[in-house]
């Protein structure tokens, strides 16, 4: 690991590259851009043009005044395929013209594009360009015993040779990378996600709030299918119908809507389009995060900052947030455990987490300002080395 430099910070040209402008990665990048722009740096963005809906389009439009180096959107496929060659060529021309000092890649696909192209640029007129990569979960969620997992881990190991620094957002992400891909051969930094000061005001639920609330991507990886199956079982235990609102978009949304329709009166489920988290919190009494895999989920931090109770699984970096309250977390991919936790939470028969204490933990330890400054220090250390 390189030692922090005492050199005077310079104004940098920073280009963020990621595939999907939705969810936690997009939130992370937006926070960084606002903070970096406020510090006087010039910032740009490259991302996919096919992902997201009206809400994400609004967020991108709001971002435009802050991206002096440009906001470039190009169709990018989630999986590896022949079209990646054409995408690489288009991205190369964009990145070459930006002449960035720092190429900050986020997520597996964005990380592959940025590091390959960044390496080509370093052979030209951008010899001082540094390539940083944050997995944000991504490849490390794959199973090492499956062929797909071994393929992605092999690619990550190769791409590490084209990386000047790795950034991990949780100890879980770092340790999973070490276990599945190997000890890093380049420097790395551990930088946890953080929130802005205005996010720590309590959110009060409205009069028609549902019993349970889910906010996030509509994917099996997030455990949405499990939560849908749990709802009629919770109703049966409580001997009354429970209500739930699901807020978000994603590849499996139509499947979930069809399953909810099949359940009929067994579960009172409503699906809503993506919206700001603090608006969504007012629509449900208890947030449920039933994920099978996570890294350092913003939605957990946001809920605790807003003083909202939540039920979450023991995955990824969530135990790092809950710390001594981790005993209240739920075993992942376990329908019975989820049903017991949801039922017990409503009846008060299960001892849950101390949410007042967790609010203070997040307020003290998960700051967007600290997150940005630690990342800026990682940039400077990498440039100076």
Torsion sign (Cα): 32, 154, 316, 303: positive
Alpha helix segments (H runs only) across 39-146: 54-63, 83-98, 108-122
pLDDT of 2 over the 70 cut: no
Query: What is the DSSP code (8-state) at residue 205?
Result: P
**Phi, psi (rounded to 5 degrees) for 43:** -130, 150
Q: 225 with 191: CB under 8 angstroms?
A: no
Mean pLDDT check: name the lowest of 108-117, 123-132, 245-254, 353-362: 123-132
Domains present along the chain, CATH in parentheses: 13-194+367-384 (3.40.50.2000), 198-365 (3.40.50.2000)
Of 5-19, 22-36, 289-303, the poorest mean pLDDT is in 5-19
Q: How far apart are CA 365 and CA 124, in angstroms?
A: 41
pLDDT of residue 6: 42
Report the C-alpha gap between 192 and 372 in whole angstroms: 10
- Per-residue model confidence (pLDDT) at position 5: 44
Q: What digits encode the pLDDT tens for the residues 134-183?
A: 999 888 888 888 888 888 899 999 999 999 999 999 999 999 999 999 99
Distance CA 45, CA 36 (A): 13
- pLDDT over 80 (residue 127): no
pLDDT average, residue stretch 347-361 = 92
Q: Which helix (H) or strand (E) holds 3?
A: none
In 3D space, the residue among 100, 168, 315, 345 whose CA is nearest the CA of residue 156 turns out to be 168
Find out whether 228 and 269 touch, Cβ atoms under 8 Å: yes
**Residue 192 binned pLDDT confidence (cut-offs 50, 70, 90):** very high
Q: Going by C-beta distance under 8 Å and a sequence separation of 6 or more, which residues neighbour residue 85? A: none
pLDDT of residue 1 exceeding 50: no
Nearest CA among 75, 99, 70, 79 for reference residue 87: 75
Mean pLDDT of 240-245: 96
Q: How far is CA 269 from CA 244, 247, 266, 282, 355, in A?
A: 5, 11, 9, 16, 26
pLDDT of residue 125: 62
Compute φ and ψ for 365, nearest 5 degrees: -110, -10
For residues 202 and 33, the answer to whether their CB atoms sit within 8 Å is no
| Helix 23-38 with 298-305: angle, nearest 10 deg | 70
Averaged confidence pLDDT in the chain = 93
Q: No. of H helices and E strands in the chain?
A: 14, 12
How much of the chain, in percent, has pLDDT values that exceed 90? Answer: 86
Q: What is the rounded distance in angstroms from the CA atom of residue 46 to the CA atom of residue 17?
A: 5
Q: How would DSSP label each residue in 117-155?
A: HHHHHHTTT-TT-EEEEE-SSGGGGS-TTSHHHHHHHHH
Rounded to an integer, what distance in angstroms lies between the CA atom of residue 319 and that of residue 127?
41
Measured distance CA(128)–CA(17) in Å, rounded = 18
Which of 377, 50, 22 has the alpha carbon at shortest distance from 215? Answer: 22
For residue 9, is pLDDT > 60? no
Instruction: Tell me if 45 sits within 8 A of 15, measured CB to CB.
Output: yes
The arrangement of strands across the sheet holding 268-272 comes to 268-272, 243-247, 210-215, 284-289, 310-312
Q: How far is the C-alpha of 272 from the C-alpha of 281, rounded, in Å?
A: 13
Quick one: average pLDDT of 95-112? Answer: 94
Q: Which of 174, 190, 196 is nearest to 32 (CA)?
A: 196
Exposure class string for 103-112: b at 16+ Cβ within 10 A, else e: bbbbbbbbbb
């Amino acid at each position: 690991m390189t030692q922090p430099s005492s050199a005077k910070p310079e104004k940098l040209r920073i280009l963020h590259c990621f595939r999907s402008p939705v969810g936690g990665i997009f939130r992370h990048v937006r926070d960084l851009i606002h903070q970096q722009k406020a510090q006087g740096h010039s910032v740009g963005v490259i991302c996919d043009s096919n992902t997201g809906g009206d809400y994400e389009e609004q967020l991108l439009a709001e971002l435009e005044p802050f991206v002096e180096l440009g906001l470039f959107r190009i169709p990018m496929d989630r999986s590896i395929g022949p079209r990646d060659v054409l995408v690489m060529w288009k991205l190369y021309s964009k990145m070459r013209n930006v002449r960035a000092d720092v190429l900050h890649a986020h997520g597996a696909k964005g990380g592959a594009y940025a590091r390959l192209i960044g390496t080509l640029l370093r052979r030209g007129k951008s010899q001082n360009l540094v390539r940083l990569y944050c997995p944000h979960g991504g490849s490390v969620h794959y199973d090492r015993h499956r062929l797909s997992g071994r393929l992605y881990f092999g690619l990550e190991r190769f791409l590490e040779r084209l990386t000047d620094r790795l950034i991990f957002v949780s100890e879980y992400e770092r340790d999973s990378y070490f276990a599945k891909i190997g000890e890093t051969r380049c420097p790395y930094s551990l930088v946890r996600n953080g929130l802005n000061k205005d996010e720590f005001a309590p959110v009060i639920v409205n009069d028609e709030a549902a019993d349970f609330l889910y906010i996030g991507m509509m994917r099996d990886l997030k455990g949405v299918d499990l939560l849908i199956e749990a709802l009629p079982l919770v109703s049966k235990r409580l001997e009354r119908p429970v209500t739930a609102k699901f807020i978000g978009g994603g590849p499996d949304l139509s499947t979930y809507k069809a399953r909810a329709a099949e359940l009929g009166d067994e579960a009172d489920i409503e699906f809503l389009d993506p919206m700001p988290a603090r608006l969504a919190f007012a629509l449900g009494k208890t947030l449920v995060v039933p994920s099978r895999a996570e890294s350092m989920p913003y939605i957990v931090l946001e809920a605790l900052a807003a003083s909202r109770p939540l039920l979450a699984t023991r995955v990824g970096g969530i135990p790092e947030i809950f710390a001594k309250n981790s005993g209240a977390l739920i075993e992942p991919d376990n329908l019975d455990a989820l049903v017991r936790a949801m039922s017990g939470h409503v009846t008060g028969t299960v001892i849950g987490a101390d949410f007042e204490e967790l609010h203070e933990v997040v307020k003290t330890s998960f700051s967007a300002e600290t997150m940005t400054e630690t990342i800026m220090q990682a940039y400077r250390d990498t440039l100076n080395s």
